[in-house]
Structure 1
């Protein structure tokens, strides 16, 4: 299936600690054509890749990302919670990921995690970083904070945005067009064949999340989606690369 996006959710998060360089490197080996990751901001304004606003779940430490400097953050172990083999993994910076994919053509789905913490200046910083690395054509900015995505679009019309949402929306493609978004990233249970087809007719692609079961993957493919966000990119790659009978 040509041009179907295999987007690794937090990297190869089924076999590596999520949002670490090991997870990002491994997912490319497993057939991912894109990487989804979460962006937070340290107290000194550095953009870092971690899902939670706090350190407790994946770094076994107390505190909020917003209250910690980048140098402090780099001292925490972000891998041992997953398995001893990954001890001493660090929380990556956005630049670490950019360095990995530069020249590879890998799609980067950067989710702005600014719904709980309103990171002042995050949109400006991420747009500037994308431009500095000349990755405008490789990046899609997504968020549940749709106002933030509108701000990103006003700052950088050339960078794609995608709307994350959990529940079924009425004519989500109309909403996407109004917000100048080029993508819809719905929770898998909010996907319908009619919405996917109508979105594509409006120039809007649909990438559901987080789809790990092969039967669910096939059901999503059958609705006509243009890509899938998954923890198991190798499973999805094997499914879409099976020759048609």
Structure 2
């Protein structure tokens, strides 16, 4: 059994438009262990799966997600930007993804988006959907907004949380303990053997992003990190299996 789990970053986003059902289905086909995705709230408070808070980059419309209703967002083309064969791929809701994934063995890494815009009540809505679909034990909530992670734990201490960060932090396991986080989600360039060892000594998993270089995948697999978050889950699975076994 491989120790390192492969998480498909926004689905298999190297092969299909990110954060779409097409990308999530491709990740399942490629044997990913889990799927990483991002959530925002629409104008009518529906949980929308998309990375950016603006729809400009990945759809045929412009503006902020928060200014569109779900019905309006569902009319947009979220696939043509990636390739002609994905024309009219739609923006999914979190519930649509849960319905897809819950019949598989995969787990979910749900990133609550952070930035200058805060979504009131998003934590309660995410947890309610996970409870509805019996996915609490198969999910981890991550965010760069660590206040959001604290709130998640207050609402449901049973669900796992992952602390996203990009800088090289001094002894982040101490801070992670203070916010009751279960995992560190660092940018991969900040990792080394001592860091990995200390994180494990302190009882924390390490899910690192966004690893698309095969040499880096190999090093991380040999270092036995908990999770590799990648746009190319097929490549990562092949490397992890060759080093750690199936």
TM-score (norm 2): 0.96
- Please state whether the residue corresponding to 2:80 is helix, strand or coil: coil
Aligned residue in 2 for 1:240: 240
Report whether the alignment pairs 1:193 with 2:210. no
Note if contact 1:163-1:185 (Cα within 8 Å) is conserved in structure 2.
Answer: yes
The aligned length equals 245
The structure showing larger relative contact order (alpha-carbon pairs under 8 Å, at least 6 residues apart) is 2
For residues 104 and 207 of structure 2, the distance between their equivalents in structure 1, rounded to whole angstroms, comes to: 21
Aligned residue in 2 for 1:64: 64
State the Cα deviation string for residues 77-124 of structure 1 (Å, max 9, x = none).
000110010001000000111001113231100000132310011111
Q: CA RMSD in A?
A: 1.4
Which consecutive unaligned segments of at least 5 residues does structure 2 have?
none
Cα–Cα, structure 1 residues 60 and 182, in superposed 2: closer, same or farther, change >3 Å?
same
For residues 164 and 244 of structure 1, the distance between their equivalents in structure 2, rounded to whole angstroms, comes to: 26
For residues 224 and 169 of structure 2, the distance between their equivalents in structure 1, rounded to whole angstroms, comes to: 18
TM-score (norm 1): 0.97
Aligned residue in 2 for 1:103: 103
Displacement after TM superposition at 1:243 (Å): 5.8
Q: Which moved further from structure 2: 157-166 or 185-194?
A: 185-194
Displacement after TM superposition at 1:154 (Å): 0.4
Aligned residue in 2 for 1:6: 6
- Please state whether the residue corresponding to 1:88 is helix, strand or coil: coil
Aligned residue in 2 for 1:34: 34
For residues 59 and 244 of structure 1, the distance between their equivalents in structure 2, rounded to whole angstroms, comes to: 39
- Please state whether the residue corresponding to 1:57 is helix, strand or coil: coil
Aligned residue in 2 for 1:52: 52
1:169-188 to structure 2, matched below 5 A, reads 169-188=169-188
